[in-house]
Amino acid sequence: MAGKMFMRVEEVAEELGVSVAYAYKLIRSMNEELKKTGCITISGRIDRKFFYEKFYGTRGQSERSC
């Protein structure tokens, strides 16, 4: 799935080794965080860069932009 901007719930569940239901909860939570910064979100999908920042710390919080 390289080259795609968003991760779908199935990909998040597989990446983290969690159930699809729990992946939906995580995506909802991350999307709420993004909305607070003014970003537009899509239900059931999460920005790939934000996901990796959040779970693997690839970028500092102050560097986040939409």
The secondary structure of 1-66, three-state, reads CCCCCEEEHHHHHHHHCCCHHHHHHHHHHHHHHHHHCCCCCCCCEEEHHHHHHHHHCCCCHHHCCC
Residue 59 has pLDDT above 60, yes or no: no
Q: What is the mean pLDDT of residues 20-31?
A: 97
pLDDT at 56: 86
Q: What is the mean pLDDT of residues 34-57?
A: 93
This prediction's pTM: 0.79
pLDDT at 1: 47
Residue 51 has pLDDT above 60, yes or no: yes
Residue 66 has pLDDT above 80, yes or no: no
Residues 1, 60: Cα–Cα separation, whole Å:
25
Q: Which of 30, 9, 6 lies closest to 20 in space, CA to CA?
A: 9
